[in-house]
Amino acid sequence: MSVPVTLTTSPKQKPAADSLGFGKFFTDHMFVLDYSSAKGWHDGRIIPYEPISLDPASKVFHYGQAIFEGLKAYITVDGEALLFRPDRNFARLNHSAERLCIPAIDEQQALEALKQLVEVDRAWIPAEAGTSLYIRPFIIATEADLGVDESTEYKFIIIMSPSGSYYAEGINPVKIMVEKKYVRAVVGGTGEAKTSGNYASSLISSKEAHEQGYSQTLWLDGKENKYVEEVGSMNIFFKINGTVVTPELTGSILPGITRDSMIQVLKHKNIPIEERHIAIDEVIDAHTNGTLEEVFGTGTAAVISPVGRLLWEGEELVINNEEIGDVSQLLYDTLTGIQSGKINDDFNWTIRLT
Ligand code: COI
């Protein structure tokens, strides 16, 4: 089922690949779908990218009923366009929707609409190594009403942004600060939902991290302030004495799609991988006794991002001489190889657009 398309009459100039950065430029079109309790989700359409007009009383502005996703489209070495596991993003969007009392979308229809949108703006997918078209689906509550209850109206919108590396460091190791003062989430809270409020409450920590020269925050659990959870924009992995360890999904951690993919790759390559609780003390001890071999993050925006330094209680741990470790490199090459069509997609993760 295709949705109606209104093409722009004033296409924008495309930015040069080396000026992309992350999430700064937007394509010519966007997808919009409305919801009302009377009509359900309706009126899906692709229209020129433009500002939206909302009533100032829209619930999203006051109570933060908003969720989003992040995925990417790539141009392969054969010049084809592909999407990476988009079905998982729409499934996760619905999971977040449930937690935020937002009505579920039809995942199949959302995927069809996305494919159509990417086709319309296909010329915006950058082809240079390390670049892609970052896709941001999101849902906001639009009912004009200040009562604290779930909205009866919503907008589901997909916008797209040709992007380069999320971190200025690219694939070079980043510096991360372990956060002790603030917490991101607690079990039973909204930590595993991709809701805007989680990111709003994390800003103070990233700001303080930046002021000290670190790229992001590594969050600990909200109850004991002891177990590692995730980094602001990625899930986290540690290689200790030959085994890769990543925090298990407890309900307060975002279930990353790149996280899941990389666990599958590690298993496929027979590299020991454990999903379990990991205390920050275990990481520090491993560093002290020389068994902390690698630390890296995974995420759609971040891809595979090695961590070269960790700041914990005023002390800086240097990891693997601030070099990219073997496992980080292997995962990076496998993931970007599949996404660029350079290596076979044995996992059936990619969807090629015709
Ligand atoms: C992503 O990796 O897509 C994210 O959502 C992380 C971030 C840029 C918010």
Could you report the average pLDDT of every consecutive run of 10 residues in the chain (354 residues)? 94 95 97 98 98 98 98 95 98 98 98 98 94 97 98 98 88 93 94 96 96 96 96 96 97 96 98 98 97 97 95 95 96 96 96 89
Mutational pocket test of ligand 1: of 134, 166, 198, 203, the residue with most ligand atoms within 8 Å of the beta carbon: 166
Task: Give me the pLDDT at residue 165, please.
Answer: 86
Report the amino acid identity of residue 311.
L
| Secondary structure of residue 237 in the 3-state scheme | strand
How far is residue 19 from each of residues 23, 170, 252, 326, measured CA to CA in Å? 11, 14, 35, 30
Q: Which helix (H) or strand (E) holds 87?
A: helix 86-99
Biggest CA–CA distance in the chain, Å, is: 63
Going by alpha carbons, the residue nearest to atom 7 of ligand 1 is 233
Query: Ligand 1 site: residues with CB under 6 angstroms?
Result: 70, 233, 299-301
State both tokens at 105: 């979308």
From ligand 1's centre to the CA of 203, what distance in Å?
A: 14
Residue 258 CA: nearest ligand 1 atom is 2
Residue 302 CA: nearest ligand 1 atom is 2
Task: Give me the pLDDT at residue 324, please.
Answer: 95
Decide: 334 and 64 in contact? Cβ < 8 Å: no
Decide: 340 and 349 in contact? Cβ < 8 Å: no
From ligand 1's centre to the CA of 291, what distance in Å?
A: 30
Residue 301 CA: nearest ligand 1 atom is 2
pTM: 0.96
Distance CA 299, CA 322 (A): 20
Tokens 């500002």 found at: 51
Task: Give me the pLDDT at residue 96, please.
Answer: 98
Domains for the chain: give ranges and CATH numbers. 17-163 (3.30.470.10), 174-340 (3.20.10.10)
Task: Give me the pLDDT at residue 171, please.
Answer: 82
Residue 194 CA: nearest ligand 1 atom is 5
Distance CA 334, CA 311 (A): 29
For 49-127, strand residue ranges (E) read 66-68, 71-75, 81-84
From ligand 1's centre to the CA of 300, what distance in Å?
A: 6
Task: Give me the pLDDT at residue 169, please.
Answer: 79
**Phi (first) and psi of residue 262, to 5 degrees:** -70, -30
76 burial type by CB count under 10 A (0-12 exposed, 13-18 middle, 19+ buried): middle
